[in-house]
Amino acid sequence: MAVGIFDSGLGGLTVWDAVNQRMPDLPVVYLADSAHAPYGVRTADDIYELTCSAVQRLFDAGCNLVVLACNTASAAALRRMQESWVPADRRVLGVFVPLIEALTERQWGDNSPPREVAVRHVALFATPATVASRAFQRELAFRAIGVDVEAQSCGGVVDAIEDGDMILAEALVRSHVDALKRKMPDPDAAILGCTHYPLMQDYFQSALGEDVRVFSQASLVADSLADYLDRHPDMLGSGAASFLTTGDPARVSDRATQFLRRQITFQAA
């Protein structure tokens, strides 16, 4: 019955945790490509090749459905994968869809023309590769008009989180928010466009101010996945739950346990 969740590192554990809370009986195979993290500074072709390799590993583990719990992979690789690589009997989903559904308050299958939505000024915090792809702006433009998106590339934040240096991560978050606000002083909403960033959500909220609505993806993705599986139960695979990493299992397990404040044990992928 397993569903696959892939991330370049540990940020996708925020999605795994939300999925586990939403569907505690759903077995999940989580794969962290820790040996090649972070993806946010890599080229689009490199990200595509690494993502295909990781997703194939999850297919081989018995997952018919894989969620890319990595905004960088979703932005730089997902569309290309869906068009030319994913087998007809498998599915790969990204993390942008639930986020844009929430932001625009319309379902993904709603193909009516773009219309005005409640928010007008949106701050997007993401990795350099996600910002460069403009994937979020492209998908948003299909569904909403009149929304000004200001993107801030948050270099260093993922590395600091993966290294467990939360003091540095907090300092970097505040620096990136300051840089964003020099370009967009009064955003209505903020998108945490990397699944590592919910670990720093309180710091983003504090730096942005309490009047800014912060959209974080984990719970949105979990709800969307539950709805998808209700509609497509055939996408449940045959694998058993596990945590896999291309990095050092002991080190990754230690970091994961710190993140989620519960014991998480990774095995070599």
Q: Which residue has the tokens 């090749």?
A: 49
**Torsion sign, CA atoms 121, 125, 128, 129:** negative
Residue 52 annotated among the catalytic residues of the structure: no
**3-class SS string, the chain:** CCEEEEECCCCCHHHHHHHHHHCCCCCEEEEECHHHCCCCCCCHHHHHHHHHHHHHHHHHCCCCEEEECCHHHHHHCHHHHHHHCCCCCCEEECCHHHHHHHHHCCCCCCCCCCEECCCCEEEEEECHHHHHHCHHHHHHHCCEECCEEEEEECCCHHHHHHCCCHHHHHHHHHHHHHHHHHHCCCCCEEEEECCCHHHHHHHHHHHHCCCCEEECHHHHHHHHHHHHHHHCHHHCCCCCCEEEECCCHHHHHHHHHHHHCCCCCCEEC
Residue 70 annotated among the catalytic residues of the structure: yes
Mean pLDDT of the residues in the chain: 93
**pTM of this prediction exceeds 0.85:** yes
Question: What's residue 147's pLDDT?
Answer: 94
Q: What would the mean pLDDT of 95-123 be, rounded to a whole number? A: 85
Question: What's residue 105's pLDDT?
Answer: 84
Question: What's residue 109's pLDDT?
Answer: 67
Structure tokens at 248: 């050092």
Q: Band of the pLDDT at 236, cuts 50, 70, 90?
A: confident
Q: Band of the pLDDT at 200, cuts 50, 70, 90?
A: very high
Per-residue pLDDT of 37-66, as tens digits, reads: 989 889 999 999 999 999 999 999 999 999
Residue partners of 239: CB distance under 8 A and separation at least 6: 1, 2, 4, 27, 29, 61, 62, 63
Is residue 214 within 8 A of residue 201, CB to CB? The reply is yes
Active site residue: 52, 63, 70, 154, which one? Answer: 70
Residue 108 has pLDDT above 70, yes or no: no
Is residue 165 within 8 A of residue 156, CB to CB? The reply is no
Is residue 44 within 8 A of residue 22, CB to CB? The reply is no
* CA gap 92, 125 in Å, rounded: 24
Residue 107 has pLDDT above 90, yes or no: no
Residue 111 has pLDDT above 80, yes or no: no
Question: What's residue 97's pLDDT?
Answer: 84
Residue 149 has pLDDT above 90, yes or no: yes
Question: What's residue 199's pLDDT?
Answer: 87
Per-residue pLDDT of 216-230, as tens digits, reads: 889 899 999 999 999
Higher pLDDT, 97 or 119: 119
Per-residue pLDDT of 125-143, as tens digits, reads: 999 999 999 999 988 988 8
Q: What would the mean pLDDT of 235-246 be, rounded to a whole number? A: 90
Q: Band of the pLDDT at 106, cuts 50, 70, 90?
A: confident
